[in-house]
Structure 1
Amino acid sequence: MKIKAIKIGKVSIPLKKPFKTALRQVNSAEDIIIKMIADSGEIGFGNAPPTAVITGDSQDSIIAAIRDTIGPKLIGMDIDNLEGIMTTIDSSMLHNSSAKAALDIAVYDLFGKRHSIPLYKLFGGYQTMITTDLTISVNAPEEMVQDSLEAVAAGYTALKLKVGTDAALDIKRVQAIRTAVGPDVKIRLDANQGWGPKEAVRTIRKFEDMGLDIELIEQPVKAHDFKGLKYVTDHVETDIMADEAAFGVYEVYQLLAMEACDLINIKLMKAGGLHNAIKIAHFAETVGIECMMGCMLESKVGITAAASLAAGKRIVAKSDLDAAVLLAEDPVVGGVSFTKNQLIIPDAPGLGITDVQGWQEIK
């Protein structure tokens, strides 16, 4: 089976509610979705949501990287030559991790279809179902309380609260939500780089002193501030997770060598795809650091790929794969299915995706 053609398209999917963080506000998911066509007629699906404030990748840059630079080098390559294909993707150009991830996911989808194996089994087959949290956008405390209560009523046992816009107000937000949802719901906080190191320590210590029982704090400081992240990790009791700082394989290696965090958030769009995400998981496993599998605001194509890796690897102990739940529509036929806070991994070959409705080709 050889790669014959790569078609680029997009879907625009409205959100149920605006998605608000310390970095941005989004009202719809604008997802680039590719179809990698093999000479056998099989189609591999891959996606890349433009998330410029995190990856630096825009819709135009993703399209250009796939169409003009990386994609042409893959035409004619045998899908069984995974090592050669991934080397070509990685070495074709610097950065552009989202474009690389889209191609990588499509290649793995074709590989799974070529060998009639679901990707979660290819990655280890550890489990067939994973539990996700639900993200609560940063808003006024009373609105976040209402959103949190609705999430718990819908069956979610872990909430990821977006904070980082105002430390004093963040304390009020978290306190109000903990009071509302009770002690049995896990609360995770994501500051999206919104605090300085000392501000983060002061704020997190207040959470601890107030007995708010926060499971983890995600990326409290700027992505480039590895020393600041380590300072926070070393001066609080709550587990600290690197997200934007843990961009790719080399950054994760540096963070682990510095003992700068307690957890690593793996995202395919940062890592450049599944093959690098696997390396990150193995790095973390080697030093005994658990991982979370995260996502961008993207369609179920990328969610299924990420969930397949999370289900395959034991070290991926937590998941934040709720993006498809936040969307008002689901154009993807096949892939993961949802039961309350559970993602059911498909047992069909590859990603188990057969079509993307409303896909508009970009020439």
Structure 2
Amino acid sequence: MKIKDLKIFSLNVPLKKEFKTSLRTVKTAAETIIKIETDTGQVGFGEAPPTAVITGDTNQSIRGIIKNKIKPLLIDEEIENIEKIHFLIEESAVNNNSAKAAVEMAVYDLFAQKLGVPLYKILGGYQNKLVSDLSISVNSPAEMKEDALQAVKDGYQVLKLKVGKGYQKDLERFRAVRKAVGDQIKIRLDANQGWQPKEAVSIIKTMEAENLNPELIEQPVKAADYEGLKFVRDNVLTPVMADESLFSAQDCLRLLKMQACDLINIKLMKAGGIYNALKINAIAEAYGIEVMLGSMLEAKVSVTAAAHLAAAKKNITRLDLDAPLYLAEDPVVGGMIINGPEISFPAKNGLGIEDIYNLIEVV
């Protein structure tokens, strides 16, 4: 099975409501979709979201690097040469991780199709059913309380509150949600780099003293502030997770050698694809550190790829793969099956994606 063509498309889907974090506000998921076509007539799908405030990638840069740097290297390559294709993609340009992730997941999709199995089976095959949390957009305490109550009504037992917009206000947000949903619901806090180290320690200690019981605190400080992350981790009891601080296997080694975090969050768009994500997970597992598999604000193509990776590995114990639920419509035919917090897979090979509606080809 040889790669014969790689086509690039745009996909724009409005959100049900604005999604807010400390870094940005999003109203529309504006994605880059790719299709890799083979000489046997099979098609592999990939996706990359533009998340400039985290990865530095825009749709223009994603599409440009795929068209001008990656695509010419892959034409006529045998799809089963995974290692070779990975390094062709990896060495095509520095950074540009979202573009690399999109192309690589399409390659893995085709590789699993060739072998006649769902993707999670060739990546490890640990399980075939998953449970995700649901993120609550940062808003007023009252609005976040209502969103949290709706999420619990919809069956979610684990919530992730987006905070990081005024640490005293964040306390009010958490108090309001905890009081509303009760003590049995797990609540994760994601500050998206929104606190200073001393602020983070102060607010987390207050939460602990008030028995608010956060399950974990995700990326409390700036991505580059490894020492600040370690300071927070060393001075609170609540587990601290690295997200934006961790893109590569090298980042993972540095964080874990420093003992700067208790958990890590892998995202395909940060790692540059499945191959690198597997390396990062292996390093974390060797250090006895559990992994969350997360996503940006993405449609169901790339989140399906992330779900297959999560299903493959025992060390991936937490999931934040709710992004497709924020879209006003689902243009993807096939892919992972979402039933409230539960994720499962169709009895299909590869990613299990059959088609995508409303694509506009980018030439």
Q: TM-score range by the shorter chain?
A: over 0.9
Determine the C-alpha separation between the residues in 1 that align with 2:128 and 2:163: 32
1:54 paired with 2:54, answer yes
Deviation string, structure 1 residues 312-333 (Cα, Å, up to 9, x no partner)? 1000000000001111100000
Deviation at 1:346, TM superposition (A): 2.8
Determine the C-alpha separation between the residues in 1 that align with 2:346 and 2:287: 31
Match of 1:198 in 2: 198
Letter in 1 for 2:205: R
Letter in 1 for 2:261: C
1:16 paired with 2:16, answer yes
Match of 1:96 in 2: 96
Moved more, 35-44 or 343-352: 343-352
Determine the C-alpha separation between the residues in 1 that align with 2:347 and 2:166: 44
Equivalent residue runs for 1:273-292 within 5 Å: 273-292=273-292
Deviation string, structure 1 residues 23-60 (Cα, Å, up to 9, x no partner)? 00000111100000111110000000000000000010
Match of 2:154 in 1: 154
Deviation string, structure 1 residues 336-359 (Cα, Å, up to 9, x no partner)? 011121011233111000101111
SS of the residue corresponding to residue 30 of structure 2 reads strand
Structure 1 portions without partners, runs of 5+? none
SS of the residue corresponding to residue 214 of structure 1 reads coil
Equivalent residue runs for 1:82-161 within 5 Å: 82-161=82-161
Determine the C-alpha separation between the residues in 2 that align with 1:11 and 1:52: 17
Determine the C-alpha separation between the residues in 2 that align with 1:2 and 1:227: 47
Contact 1:120 1:345 in 2 (8 A): no
Letter in 2 for 1:163: V
Size of the aligned set, in residue pairs, is: 363
Structure 2 portions without partners, runs of 5+? none
Determine the C-alpha separation between the residues in 2 that align with 1:24 and 1:182: 29
Equivalent residue runs for 1:149-188 within 5 Å: 149-188=149-188
Contact 1:162 1:191 in 2 (8 A): yes
Determine the C-alpha separation between the residues in 2 that align with 1:229 and 1:154: 34
Match of 1:262 in 2: 262
Determine the C-alpha separation between the residues in 2 that align with 1:241 and 1:346: 32
Deviation at 1:253, TM superposition (A): 1.4
Deviation at 1:143, TM superposition (A): 0.4
Equivalent residue runs for 1:204-219 within 5 Å: 204-219=204-219
Determine the C-alpha separation between the residues in 1 that align with 2:76 and 2:235: 53
Determine the C-alpha separation between the residues in 1 that align with 2:347 and 2:264: 27
Deviation string, structure 1 residues 88-123 (Cα, Å, up to 9, x no partner)? 111111000000000110000010111111111111
Determine the C-alpha separation between the residues in 1 that align with 2:256 and 2:346: 33
Deviation at 1:131, TM superposition (A): 0.5
Determine the C-alpha separation between the residues in 1 that align with 2:182 and 2:117: 42
1:360 paired with 2:360, answer yes
Letter in 2 for 1:165: K
- For normalisation by structure 1, the TM-score amounts to 0.99
Determine the C-alpha separation between the residues in 2 that align with 1:87 and 1:346: 30
RMSD: 0.6
1:314 paired with 2:314, answer yes
Determine the C-alpha separation between the residues in 2 that align with 1:20 and 1:192: 11
Equivalent residue runs for 1:305-344 within 5 Å: 305-344=305-344
Determine the C-alpha separation between the residues in 2 that align with 1:345 and 1:197: 41
Deviation string, structure 1 residues 250-300 (Cα, Å, up to 9, x no partner)? 111111111110001000000000010011111111111000000011110
Deviation at 1:174, TM superposition (A): 0.2
Deviation at 1:8, TM superposition (A): 0.1
Letter in 2 for 1:21: T
SS of the residue corresponding to residue 205 of structure 2 reads helix
Match of 2:2 in 1: 2
Q: Percent identity?
A: 54
Deviation at 1:148, TM superposition (A): 0.4
- For normalisation by structure 2, the TM-score amounts to 0.99
Contact 1:295 1:323 in 2 (8 A): yes
Q: Following TM superposition, where does structure 1 have runs of at least 4 consecutive aligned residues deviating by more than 4 angstroms? A: none
Moved more, 303-312 or 345-354: 345-354
Determine the C-alpha separation between the residues in 2 that align with 1:96 and 1:65: 7
